[in-house]
Amino acid sequence: MKAVVLNGVTPAKQVILSEAEIPKVRPGWVLVKVRAFGMNHSEQILRLHEIEADYIEKPIIPGIECVGEIADASDSSFSMGQKVAALMGGMGRSFNGSYAEYALLPAHHVFPVQTGLSWKEFAAVPETYFTAWGSLFECLGLKPSDTLLVRGGTCALGYAAIQIAKALGCRVIATTHRQEKLPLLAGVDEAVLDNGKLEGELHGATKALELVGPKTLADTLRCMEKGGIVCNTGILGGVYTLNGFDPIKFIPNGVYLTGFNSNWPTQQVMDDIFAFIDRNKLKPCIGASYGFGDIREACLALDGGKVNGKIVVEVVG
Ligand SMILES: NC(=O)c1ccc[n+]([C@@H]2O[C@H](COP(=O)([O-])OP(=O)(O)OC[C@H]3O[C@@H](n4cnc5c(N)ncnc54)[C@H](OP(=O)(O)O)[C@@H]3O)[C@@H](O)[C@H]2O)c1
């Protein structure tokens, strides 16, 4: 099969397709024929830095998510040809991932999905919508009566969260740090240019999805109404941790702070997401798509950070 096989730090312009063995199934694992996959920041981080870490066994095929069909069900209850999505749980890090024609994946991280979406649209969903869904419902307990602030709205995750919250009936405020991107937030109730300090500028936010991350988190907490909840899910601002975190001063009285990690998808949540997409006729927000033969261009687009929406690669047209 064709696959991206990484042995060390690999800038996008050096990414190539190689020949690799189709993996052999073993108990507890299923073989998935990859039809398409979405691309993610964490794959860029793996390719450019993390691959040097001792815990990454090399060579490694990257890719933390994919959609496709069961090619060998092994000892699982899947059937041959069944439509599935797979994501996270060590995919593309602890074991080979989705930048390949076939992926051998732990059966418990592969989810049967019923959807009328095309392979390309389907591939834009798993990681991005699972993360948006978990942040909005598990962490923020989002209700139609909420006003949701999405800080860092112009990213694939931001667009997905906005889409879900609007479909639910929420009032949505979203920010971008670029004036020229304000039109991309045309679907929200209030699009705001983010200069790093929004305290006192925004009103009525009861829930907030923080995608810029620790860089703006203190300010986001101070934008909330009493009883408001902030979920830190993104790190677009490039600051990963809060050093000298003083909870008494950092978190305003009566405001709540939580965070989301997409490592533990479940069948129930995947079913809920696809039913919601279907019921509300949502079109996943795809920023750019590539054929597998153009994987280098797809990686260049990911590293360039200029695509508005999810980057999707179709392995089989
Ligand atoms: N917690 C989890 O489990 C989880 C899961 C998935 C993703 N994430 C995180 O969520 C964030 C969004 O992921 P994604 O896949 O949706 O990203 P993405 O679509 O690749 O978005 C990247 C783009 O966001 C834009 N952006 C918007 N606001 C920004 C800001 N304040 N600072 C810097 N860039 C900003 C940048 O473009 P411009 O600079 O041109 O605006 C950048 O090109 C990332 O930080 C990702 O690591 C977390």
Which CATH number belongs to the domain containing residue 191 in this structure?
Answer: 3.40.50.720
112 & 161 share domain: no
**Residue 81 Cα to ligand 1 middle (Å):** 34
Q: What is the chain's alpha carbon radius of gyration, rounded to the nearest angstrom?
A: 20
Which protein residue's CA is at the shortest distance from atom 11 of ligand 1?
234
Could you tell me which residues come within 8 angstroms of residue 73 by beta carbon, excluding any fewer than 6 positions away? 30, 79, 80, 82
- List, for the chain, all residue ranges whose pLDDT scores fall below the cut of 70: 317
Contact at 8 Å (CB) between 158 and 150?
yes
Ligand 1 pocket residue status of 135, Cβ below 6 Å: no
Number of domains the chain contains: 2
116 & 135 share domain: no
Q: 22: which DSSP letter? A: P
40 & 100 share domain: yes
Q: What is the pLDDT of residue 316?
A: 77
pTM over 0.75: yes
185 & 100 share domain: no
> Which range of residues forms the domain containing residue 306?
2-125+285-314
265 found inside a domain: no
Contact at 8 Å (CB) between 310 and 38?
yes
204 & 225 share domain: yes
180 & 133 share domain: yes
116 & 203 share domain: no
136 & 219 share domain: yes
Ligand 1 pocket residue status of 177, Cβ below 6 Å: yes
Percentage of the residues of the chain whose pLDDT score is greater than 90: 98
pLDDT digits (tens, 9 = 90+) for 96-155: 999 999 999 999 999 999 999 999 999 999 999 999 999 999 999 999 999 999 999 999
74 & 166 share domain: no
What is the atom index within ligand 1 of the atom nearest the CA of 175?
28
106 found inside a domain: yes
119 & 132 share domain: no
Ligand 1 pocket residue status of 154, Cβ below 6 Å: yes
**Residue 133 Cα to ligand 1 middle (Å):** 16
Nearest Cα to 288, choosing from 310, 315, 260? 310
For 212, the token pair is: 């810029």
